[in-house]
């Protein structure tokens, strides 16, 4: 996988003088093109509650947008590395990943990997990212590290989607500071709303201190089981509080969605006719429609 790493700077230095001049011109031209391009919209997928469908939604919304020919970068900002393995990227010992970009050792474009899905790239991660959260505490601009590292690559993508860990620590604060909006997956279960007040308050304080324009992309109901009465009651309760901020699309409980990460595939590669695939395509349509409004 790592052989796919984007290496345009390495290439630049690995050529003879004649090729070098040509490449320099090409590179300058491509930079001019990039300058004129729009910057990516950045979305954090966050909820400090564990197991609510953050990673499943980050992977499959990214893959659905890529299927619609949008250039998408998925950033795995959870040391569990589930988004990386979920798209088939295994980070080995000594491989560079998000941690090295966070600490400034390596520029972000050198840790980007092309996935098997056309138009979908990823900045993968591994458990080493846990150290970043601790090391960040003593670094200047500790809340803006992710914002800064994404800055030079924004023009290469239409959307950058950040999968957050189940906590409200510095990794999530960095994701919220770097993002234009936040998408909150919620599982339709009894304690769904638990902790939501804390998440909303963290979003408010990031907005106040670091990112005035941050807004709610939407609440997404996940693992919806239409045969379960409790699921309907929870959905009604959530919509009473957050009506206008909820996605109309609801993600059903679908066993194919829970199987595909172990095959390192998005739902579209694993089972494109499943109810899960249809739901994430609907979500991508609703998401894109919201961008136009
Ligand atoms: P964490 O907080 O640990 O990062 P998460 O919020 O990212 O978890 P996921 O890993 O996406 O949650 O999902 C939790 C579990 O539920 C996983 O085993 C996943 O495969 C499964 N799952 C997610 N969405 C669905 C769904 N719609 N139908 C069935 N299973 C699902
Ligand atoms: Mg996750």
Query: For ligand 1, atom 30, which residue shows the shortest CA distance?
Result: 258
Q: Is the pLDDT of residue 237 over 60?
A: yes
Q: Is the pLDDT of residue 130 over 50?
A: yes
Is the CB of 54 inside a 6 Å radius of any atom of ligand 1?
A: yes
Six-digit token string for 14 = 């690995």
The CA distance from 245 to 239, in Å, is 8
**Looking at residue 188, what is its pLDDT?**
85
**Looking at residue 11, what is its pLDDT?**
32
**Confidence label for 34 from pLDDT (cuts 50, 70 and 90):** very low
Is the CB of 258 inside a 6 Å radius of any atom of ligand 1?
A: yes
Burial (CB count <10 Å: 0-12, 13-18, 19+), residue 243: exposed
**Looking at residue 37, what is its pLDDT?**
67
More confident residue, 160 or 104: 160
> Which residues are within 5 Å of ligand 2 (an ion), measured at CB?
54-55, 82
Contacts of residue 28, defined as CB under 8 A and 6 or more positions apart, other chains included, come to: none
CB 129 within 8 A of CB 98: yes
- Residue 244 DSSP one-character state: G
Is the CB of 253 inside a 6 Å radius of any atom of ligand 1?
A: yes
What mean pLDDT, rounded, does the chain reach? 87
Between β-strands 120-123 and 159-163, what pairing exists: parallel, antiparallel or unpaired?
Answer: unpaired
Is the CB of 53 inside a 6 Å radius of any atom of ligand 1?
A: yes
The CA distance from 254 to 258, in Å, is 7
The mean per-residue pLDDT over the stretch 179-192 comes to 91
What are the distances in angstroms from CA 78 to CA 45, 50, 279?
A: 11, 12, 24
* CATH fold for domain 36-292: Rossmann fold (3.40.50)
Ligand 2 geometric centre to CA of 161 (Å): 13
Q: Is the pLDDT of residue 235 over 50?
A: yes
- Residue 68 DSSP one-character state: T
Between β-strands 113-114 and 215-222, what pairing exists: parallel, antiparallel or unpaired?
Answer: unpaired
**Confidence label for 150 from pLDDT (cuts 50, 70 and 90):** very high
For the stretch 259-291, pLDDT in tens is 999 999 999 999 999 999 999 999 999 999 999
The mean per-residue pLDDT over the stretch 150-177 comes to 96
């Amino acid at each position: 996988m790592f052989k796919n790493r984007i290496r345009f700077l390495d290439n630049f230095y690995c050529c003879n003088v004649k090729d070098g001049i040509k490449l320099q011109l090409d590179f300058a031209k491509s930079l001019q093109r990039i300058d004129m391009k729009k910057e990516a919209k950045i979305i954090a997928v966050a909820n400090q509650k564990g197991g609510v469908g953050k990673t499943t939604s980050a992977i499959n919304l990214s893959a659905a947008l890529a299927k619609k020919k949008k250039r998408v970068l998925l950033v795995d900002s959870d040391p569990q590395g589930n988004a990386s393995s979920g798209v088939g990227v295994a980070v080995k010992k000594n491989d560079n990943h998000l941690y090295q970009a966070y600490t400034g050792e390596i520029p972000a474009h050198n840790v980007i990997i092309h996935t098997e899905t056309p138009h979908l790239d990823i900045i993968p991660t591994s458990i080493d990212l846990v150290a970043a959260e601790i090391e960040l505490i003593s670094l200047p601009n500790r809340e803006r590290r992710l914002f800064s590292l994404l800055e030079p690559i924004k023009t290469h993508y239409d959307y950058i989607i950040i999968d957050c860990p189940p906590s409200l620590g510095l990794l999530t604060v960095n994701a919220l500071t770097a993002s234009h909006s936040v998408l909150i997956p919620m599982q339709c279960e009894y304690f769904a709303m638990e902790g939501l007040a804390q998440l909303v308050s963290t979003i408010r304080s990031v907005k106040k201190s670091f990112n005035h324009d941050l807004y709610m992309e939407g609440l997404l109901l996940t693992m919806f089981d239409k045969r379960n009465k409790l699921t309907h009651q929870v959905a009604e309760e959530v919509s009473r509080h957050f009506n206008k901020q909820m996605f109309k699309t609801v993600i059903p409980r679908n066993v194919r969605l829970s199987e595909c990460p172990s095959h390192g595939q998005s739902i579209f590669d694993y089972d494109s006719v499943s109810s899960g695939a249809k739901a994430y395509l609907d979500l991508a349509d609703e998401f894109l429609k919201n961008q136009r409004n």
